Amino acid sequence: MTKNAMVGTILGLALVSWGSGAGFAAVVVSPGGYASTVGSGGGGLPGPIPNNYGTTGNRFQEVYNASEFSALGSSELITKVAFRAKPSQFAFALGNSVTVSNIVVTLSTTASSADFNSPNYISNTFANNVGADVTTVYSGPITFTTSGTVNTTAFEYVINLSTPFLYSKGAGNLLLDITTPDGSTTSGPGSVGYAPVDYASDSPSSPDGAAIAFNGATSASPIGSNSVASVITQFTTTPVPEPATLSMAGVGLVALVARRRRKTA
C-alpha cells in the first residue's frame, strides 16, 4: 500500500467513525414540529429583515432552547440559517426577490430561554440576551428570493454563514441576532414576510422551543418588545468530531510516520 493510500485509509476510518454518530450534515427546524407545517401565526410579526421598503433599521433576536437540537451531537458547526416565507407571500403564486443593502448576523450561546414561565425568559433588552461567545457569522448585503409556490414548506430565505458558529447545546440555548443598521435600504420587485408561529393560536400550544425580541422601527434602540411568537427557522449543521475520533486519527498518522521512517532508515 502506498503512503497516500495509507493516509486515505486512516482518515477514512476516522471520518466513518465520526459520521456514524450525528452524521456529516444535519438539518434542524425550530420550533419543533414545523418541518413540514407552514405555520399560521399573525402576519404582523416583524422578521429578521424589514418588510418595508426604503431606508430603515431593524433589530431581531430569536432564542432557541437547547432541547430543539436534541437530535444533534454534543457540538455542531452551524453553517446555514434559513426561513420560510409566510403563505400570504404567495397569494398570486408569484415569486419575489428582496435585497437589503446591509445586515449583521451574530450567533451566541445564551442563558435566555424561550419558556415564558422561566425566570430567564428572553428579555426585551437586547444586550441581556447576548452570550459571551457572540460571533459575527454574516455581514453585508443579502437577497431573499422565493419561488412563488403557494403554501410552500420550503426554506427559501437563506443566509449562508461566512463564519460557521460552534454551538454546544450543553452550554446553553442558542441566540440568533440580526441587525439591519439604520440607513440600510430594502428594495426589490416583491415583499418579504416570514412564516411565524403564534402560540396563542397554533399547535403545538407549548410556549417552549423558540421566542423573539424585536424592534421593527430602528436598530439603534437597546430595547424592543418580546413575544412567545417565533419565526420558523431551519439550521444546517456539521458535527464536530469527538476527541476519541481525533485521537484515533492522530495515533494512526503517528504510526504511519514511524513506519515510513523505518523504511527510509
**Higher per-residue confidence, 111 vs 199:** 111
What pLDDT, on a 0 to 100 scale, did the predictor assign at position 259? 58
For the segment 128-138, the average pLDDT, to the nearest whole number, is: 98
Q: pLDDT confidence of 248, banded at 50, 70, 90? A: very low
pLDDT greater than 70 at residue 125: yes
- For residues 59 and 224, the answer to whether their CB atoms sit within 8 Å is yes
Domain layout of the chain by residue ranges: 22-240
How confident is the model at residue 24, as a pLDDT?
Answer: 75
Q: Is the per-residue pLDDT at 218 higher than 50?
A: yes
Predicted TM-score of the model (pTM): 0.79
Calculate the CA dihedral of residues 140, 111, 24, 33 and round it to 10 degrees.
-100
Average confidence (pLDDT) over 152-171: 92
C-alpha cell at 69: 437540537
**Is omega for the bond preceding 204 within 30 degrees of 0, making it cis?**
yes
Evaluate if residue 6 carries a pLDDT over 50: no
Mean pLDDT of the chain: 77
pLDDT-derived band of residue 149, with 50, 70 and 90 as boundaries? low
